[in-house]
Homo-oligomer: A and B are copies of this chain.
Amino acid sequence: MVDDASQPPPHRHHLLVRYGETDQMGRVHHANYLLYFEEARTGMMRELGASYAGLERRGVGLPVRKADLRYRQAALYEEELVVETRITRVGPASVTFEYRCLREADGGLVATGSTELACIDLADGRLIHLPADMARVFRGAQGSAE
């Protein structure tokens, strides 16, 4: 059983800013953070043994239903960024991830955000319960007892 008092450390995902991700203001265009968060989140799932690609092969999808972003400092081309990801809520048919995007060099906070994902049947788009194994993995990562 997991100790409620101890929140597990976040998953850490490293990435390097691509040139095509900058805009003429000379910084990462704000829409790209949703791609960074997605890459971090699916990297976390893969590491937890719950690959998102595998989930879709079972006919289940996790589209984003809600997203919040706050931009703190500009990120620049070729900067290495770290995205720290935590699972903060597991509902019957949804899961919420929170993100902190930091500059690797000095730990400066670049952006924060969260995304809430709904669980759907890919065949018809209907909302369905999270598969039991997936819910278990998410709850384990969240650090709460089942």
Bound CA–CA A27/B20 (angstroms): 11
User: Cβ of A110 < 8 Å from any Cβ of B?
Assistant: no
What CA separation (Å) do A41 and B76 show in the bound complex? 18
Most buried by B among A24, A25, A26, A78: A24
* Dominant SS among interface residues on chain A: mixed
Which of B16, B42, B71 contacts A65 (CB under 8 A)? B71
In the bound assembly, the distance between CA atoms of A66 and B71 in angstroms comes to 6
Instruction: Name A44-98 residues within 8 Å CB distance of B.
Output: 46, 51-53, 56, 61, 63-71, 74, 76-78
Residues of B within 8 A of A19 (CB): 23-24, 29, 38, 42, 52
Residue of B nearest to A68 (CB): B68
Interface assignment of A132: CB less than 8 Å from any CB of chain B? no
Check A7 for interface membership: any CB of B closer than 8 A. Answer: no
Check: A135 CB closer than 8 A to any chain B CB: no
Q: Are A18 and B39 in contact, CB atoms less than 8 angstroms apart?
A: yes
CB-nearest residue of chain B to A46? B78
- If A63-B25, A64-B71 touch, whether A53 touches B77 (CB-CB below 8 Å) is yes
Q: Does A122 contact B (CB under 8 A)?
A: yes
A23-B24, A32-B31, A53-B77 as given contacts; A38 in contact with B18, CB under 8 Å:
yes
List chain A positions with a Cβ less than 8 A from chain B: 16, 18-20, 22-27, 29-32, 34-35, 38-39, 42, 46, 51-53, 56, 61, 63-71, 74, 76-78, 122, 125
